[in-house]
Structure 1
Amino acid sequence: MAPVVVNPRAGAVPSSDDDVEKQQQQRLPNYDESSPAASATDEKVTATNVENATAAAAAAAAAAGANTADAKAANAVVLRGRLLEAPEFVRSLTAERRTELEKQLKRKIDTRLLPAIIVMYILNYIDRNNIAAARLAGLERDLHLSSVEFQTAVSILFVGYLLMQIPSNLFLNKIGKPAIYLPACMIVWGMISAATAACTTAGGLLANRFFLGFVEAAYFPGCLYYLSCWYTRAELGFRTAVLYSGALISGAFSGFISAGVTWGMDGTRGLGAWQWLFIIEGVATVFIAFGAFFVLPNFPRTTTWLTEEERILAVWRLDEDIGEDDWTGSSDQTFWQGAKLAFLDPKTYVLMLLLFCIVASGTVTNFFPTVVNTIGYSSVVSLLLTTPPYVLAVIVTYANAAHADRTGERYWHIAIPMWVAIIAYIIAATTTATGPRYFSMMLMVPSVYSGFVVALAWISNTMPRPPAKRAAALAFINAVSNCSSIYASYLYPTSAGPHYTTAMVVNCVTAAIAVCAATAMRFILVGLNRKLAAGVFVDGAINSRPGEPVNPFRFKI
């Protein structure tokens, strides 16, 4: 049996970044098992330490059994061939008291993090997609844009978005300062969005949209990584849904805002309604970003608004779940190492196909006001009619994600919504009758988004560690998935209305492919879980070794 060492991070958690740096230099390094440094370190463990650690592992095995609940009761868990012993504070807690404290801790984290990132994402999505409402408010007319030029203005944002996502997430993982990085990016994209009002030519609009996408790329994949640094894998599904509800809420509120601006501000101070739309929403973004500097924390280990006991418990929860908390994990990895690990993992490409097809099937949301306008109502009424589908989507997405977290199941919570989306696109492609067509629109948005957020959580569930790999995978998959938005804009020219048959058929086909990709992912993970149960080493998982406590880690399927 390989030497087993006690977790060097089991002591008190520092309360400031300076204390963290001092303690970081004193702790034992987390070597990769296959590296020469790890082997040399293992050889230096004395026989006495090995015997003591082995005895501790045996005791933990007897107490732990084969399930997570028992492993928690044992206050120790074997990860990467090492016995991680719980801090003294955690060991002193009864099961009932720990459950109570964890609920209080999660409530405190939720209250601090979730409202802030939701509001930030609402504005991120509004600034990205308000060009669709601006089209109905006169943008296309005032800038003398052709249909192709407008579609290019929509799609070029995603070129910048694609280019920046992976470098941004790797940089965020390296600097370890999400509380500074994310709001700073928000200030920049808010200024760029407001500057759209000054565009007078197609070229100026294209340049503005490219740089808007380039800077906005930092937020969503960065937030996915950020959440995975605070919550366990079992908790990520619902929190991802909460984050993504910002996009849905923005869809609901932007309709009201756009209708109000279009109806009441056109011509005010010599500016068109579409110009006021960009100015108002861009200024609001900058204002909220400054507030975020004072609200967002960095990582559990370094935050100051948790008590020392809460920090200890917050860090240990992550140690139990994936073998390391992300503050220490990120400091041990090179800038590009995570990207290399992500690119070499076949699961990355299956998840990439899954997310690409889900996003491709949901590109109708980029032109939702235009599609809703085909029912035959005025621009203001059409903007108001975009609200109900998004309100329903918020409810359905929360319910689907909460149930996925409660059951620990992922596949059916993705596949069923995508089948509903297929039905919706078939209805939309075959009729222009007001009732059936609007009914299909009420299905499109909730089905695509509810499946999408569970698929996003599946990425972190499937690639829990190391943190740099997870950050790279989230950015890479999210970047590639948004490539569909580059071509999708050309599926919705004005001449294709009111049926938009080609667009609906493409959306239907990609939704079907998404179901196939999810099915393939399920089979892959079932096979990996069988290997884990048999004691076979699985790369990227938390593996047991012969003679050590049974490892409860399994990929979520």
Structure 2
Amino acid sequence: MADIKKKANVEVRHIEDDRISNGPFKEPSLDCDAEFGGTEERKKLEKKLVRKIDARMSIMVIIYILNSIDRNNAAAARLRGFEEDLGLHDQEFATILSIFYVGYILMQVPSNMFLNYIGKPSLYLPVCMVLWGGISCLTGITHSFVPALLTRFFLGFVEAAFFPGALFVLSKWYKREELGLRTAILYCGSLSSNAFGGLLAAGILDGMEGKLGHAAWRWLFYLEGAITIAVAILAIFILPDFPSTSSRWLSPTEQRLAELRMIEDAGGEADHDSSTEGPFYGFVLTVKDWKVWWLSVALTAQVVGLSFNSYFPTLTSTLGYSRTISLLLCAPPWAFASLVSFVCSRHADKTGERFYHIAGSYVIGIVGFIIAEVTMNVAARYLALFLYRNSYGICTACFGLTIIMCFIFRQHLIFLNRRLDRGEEIDGIRDLRELIDDAAEIQEVSVEEIQHARKGFRFAY
């Protein structure tokens, strides 16, 4: 064992010495843009490529709208007899809403590991859409608590594939300075679903009561599930796979550029695993990465702070208006939230700053909680978007925790960037030379290109 450690130390010293003359932080002489006709021609080609990617990725927003609508339609159905027809009592409705997240949590990580393994998001995500659309339809035929509980559990199980899968696909196609805006546009799908879903539910619940002998809330599940299945079939032909396997809609030059620009942006990391790696290897790296844990706690606190969303139609109904008006009142706050999200993310991409954009948004949310807590004025409560007073302390605390964890995350990234500035290796998993050689072999590029990419890589915070 001592001999192994001694050998490892010798190899590490050799690598550190080798960096001085022929390492990843030496500026390579290779012109990486020459194969595209020079720097200016590459910029033109890259703009064209990004537009093509945007056109295909736009269907992600529609899918996320449907994903969120199918997730939250039980809250709208509650206003038209869902609880009464199923004979729900006490906390059974809350249990039906909560059980969704059990399946959702269980499936998210395995789903992305499987997606990485098969490398076919254009098939995997639409198949999951068909499944959750079908399960949504099945919710409409339930007549008691247990069947409704089971459909909600399995709905969460298959819906879990989309959001982490969508972020994974976006990260395979967009550079860091492009990703913030695209992620925000995707997330606007969820925000818009609260507005659009309320309008759709108002129309269905108001006009479909008694049609073909079915209650309006059952039609809500039938129709929204059917729409999801229809869009899923269309998505098979639109969604892209990964850059290395997207030759059917990209020219060879565009495909080459799509791969190379992601290599440069990721600091030379490979687009796919080597023969000695796999999904479980990536899982191990994730568990050992502190950056993931900081962000996970922040996102968990955020989700808890936004948990009122599942009851939003019920909350707006406390304002004293009719059922239809209560559903329509769900739309304006989320339409405004979508606009703010778009503007904030675009500015964050332009400036390259992340933390203060995130923290500022949560501070505004905390102000909204405080407004709602200190007044019973209807206009002020609606403006604040939060209508039940008992949960204000919990939601405010969660938003505060989110800000704290994002700050810790930011400081950790600053620390890692300083190590990179000093020429230190931060992967901590395997030999630097082996990492560079493997990435070059997998991506079919030169070692010099990988070295060039690693030299300029820094974390954005």
1:514 aligns with one of 381, 390, 402: 402
In structure 2, list runs of 5 or more residues that go unmatched. 1-6, 434-450
Tell me what 1:555 maps to.
459
1:532 aligns with one of 416, 420, 442: 420
Q: 1:279 Cα shift?
A: 0.2
In structure 1, list runs of 5 or more residues that go unmatched. 1-34, 44-49, 64-73, 76-85, 445-498
Q: 1:554 Cα shift?
A: 1.2
How far apart in 2 are the matches of 1:55 and 1:216? Answer: 48
Map 1:268-283 → 2, pairs under 5 A: 268-283=211-226
How far apart in 1 are the matches of 2:337 and 2:227? Answer: 24
Q: 1:55 Cα shift?
A: 7.7
2:48 aligns with one of 88, 104, 117: 104
Q: 1:172 Cα shift?
A: 0.6
The alignment partner of 1:158 has SS state of helix
TM-score (norm 2): 0.87
How far apart in 1 are the matches of 2:23 and 2:428? Answer: 25
2:141 aligns with one of 183, 198, 208: 198
How far apart in 2 are the matches of 1:341 and 1:404? Answer: 28
How far apart in 2 are the matches of 1:286 and 1:369? Answer: 25
Map 1:294-305 → 2, pairs under 5 A: 294-303=237-246, 304-305=248-249
Contact map agreement 1:184 1:289 (CA 8 A) in 2? yes
Tell me what 2:102 maps to.
159
1:121-160 per-position Cα deviation (integer Å, ceiling 9, x unaligned): 1111110111110111210121121240000000000000
- Identify if the C-alpha distance between structure 1 residues 513 and 109 changes in structure 2 by more than 3 Å, giving closer, same or farther: same
Tell me what 1:286 maps to.
229
The alignment partner of 2:283 has SS state of helix
How far apart in 2 are the matches of 1:173 and 1:325? Answer: 15
Q: 1:323 Cα shift?
A: 4.1
2:341 aligned partner, one-letter code: T
How far apart in 2 are the matches of 1:108 and 1:364? Answer: 37
Tell me what 2:264 maps to.
320
1:353 and 2:297 equivalent?
Answer: yes
Q: Cα RMSD (Å) of the superposition?
A: 2.7
The alignment partner of 1:539 has SS state of coil
How many residues end up aligned between the 2 structures? 430
Q: 1:227 Cα shift?
A: 0.7
Q: 1:175 Cα shift?
A: 0.9
Q: 1:536 Cα shift?
A: 2.1
The alignment partner of 2:238 has SS state of coil
- Identify if the C-alpha distance between structure 1 residues 310 and 398 changes in structure 2 by more than 3 Å, giving closer, same or farther: same
The alignment partner of 1:535 has SS state of coil
How far apart in 2 are the matches of 1:182 and 1:332? Answer: 27
1:76-98 per-position Cα deviation (integer Å, ceiling 9, x unaligned): xxxxxxxxxx37523xx332222
Q: 1:329 Cα shift?
A: 3.3
1:382 aligned partner, one-letter code: S
1:236-281 per-position Cα deviation (integer Å, ceiling 9, x unaligned): 1111111111111211111111111111111111111110000000
Q: 1:56 Cα shift?
A: 11
Tell me what 1:170 maps to.
113
- Identify if the C-alpha distance between structure 1 residues 217 and 426 changes in structure 2 by more than 3 Å, giving closer, same or farther: same
- Identify if the C-alpha distance between structure 1 residues 242 and 325 changes in structure 2 by more than 3 Å, giving closer, same or farther: farther
Map 1:394-473 → 2, pairs under 5 A: 394-441=338-385
The alignment partner of 1:111 has SS state of helix
How far apart in 1 are the matches of 2:108 and 2:140? Answer: 26
1:292 aligned partner, one-letter code: A
Contact map agreement 1:357 1:514 (CA 8 A) in 2? yes
Q: 1:501 Cα shift?
A: 2.0
Tell me what 1:501 maps to.
389
1:171-229 per-position Cα deviation (integer Å, ceiling 9, x unaligned): 11111111111001110110000110100000110011000000111111011111111
1:89 aligns with one of 18, 31, 35: 35
Contact map agreement 1:541 1:553 (CA 8 A) in 2? no
Contact map agreement 2:263 2:270 (CA 8 A) in 1? no
1:256 aligns with one of 186, 191, 199: 199
Q: 1:543 Cα shift?
A: 11
2:362 aligned partner, one-letter code: M
1:372 and 2:338 equivalent?
Answer: no
Contact map agreement 2:195 2:335 (CA 8 A) in 1? yes
2:35 aligned partner, one-letter code: F
Tell me what 2:169 maps to.
226
Q: 1:328 Cα shift?
A: 3.2
2:85 aligns with one of 142, 156, 169: 142
The alignment partner of 1:198 has SS state of coil
2:197 aligned partner, one-letter code: S
How far apart in 2 are the matches of 1:542 and 1:552? Answer: 20
1:414 aligned partner, one-letter code: I
Tell me what 2:336 maps to.
392
Contact map agreement 2:24 2:455 (CA 8 A) in 1? no
Q: 1:537 Cα shift?
A: 2.0
Tell me what 1:209 maps to.
152
How far apart in 2 are the matches of 1:543 and 1:385? Answer: 58
Contact map agreement 2:263 2:271 (CA 8 A) in 1? no
TM-score (norm 1): 0.73
Tell me what 2:437 maps to.
none
Percent identity between matched residues is 42
1:45-72 per-position Cα deviation (integer Å, ceiling 9, x unaligned): xxxxx9xxx78989x7276xxxxxxxxx
How far apart in 2 are the matches of 1:137 and 1:316? Answer: 54
Q: 1:339 Cα shift?
A: 1.0
How far apart in 2 are the matches of 1:268 and 1:326? Answer: 55
